[in-house]
Amino acid sequence: MLNALDISTSALVAQRIRLNAISSNLANIGTTRNEHGELKPYSPRYAVFEADDSINTPGGGVGVQVTGIEIIDRPPLMKYEPDHPDSDARGYVAYPNIDMTTEFVDALEATRAYEANIGVIEVTKDLARQTLRIIA
């Protein structure tokens, strides 16, 4: 039963990191400069998952780990805003190429996965409680 808890815990950590990347993408959807103040729009970040064999169980289950945060360098979205302080000579401003709808769907998916793993942890704890009640 402890392996089941380890697997679910690894998934919770992975989904939390994924949600942090999504929230960073949404928070920076309107930025025109990078963290150094340079005129370069934010590049979206995405968590990269991989199977974690260190939690291998006799039934074949493995956990999940985040191997890194991938930064996607997409061409910016150009919007005509000649009065914006960051507009170019033609009056266009470069914004991050982030689709809000896709980010919201990804956040919803990550939240549902997080909730499912919380459910697995609750069921596992209940099974352990019932087992201890039978043994005692």
Predicted TM-score (pTM) of this structure? 0.85
Residue 87, SS3?
A: coil
In the predicted structure, residue 87 carries a pLDDT above the cut 70: yes
Nearest C-alpha neighbor of 63 from the set 53, 77, 78: 53
| Residue 135, pLDDT score | 84
Q: Where are the domains of the chain?
A: 2-135
pLDDT of the residue at 58: 62
Give the Cα separation of 114 and 121 in Å (integer): 11
How confident is the model over 25-68, as pLDDT tens digits? 999 999 999 888 899 999 999 999 999 887 665 666 688 999 99
- pLDDT number for residue 119: 96
Cα separation of 67 and 24, whole Å? 18
Report which residue type is found at 79.
K
Beta strands in 41-86 (DSSP E): 45-52, 63-71, 77-80
* pLDDT recorded at residue 125: 92
In sequence order, which ranges of the chain are alpha helices (DSSP H)?
Answer: 2-27, 100-135
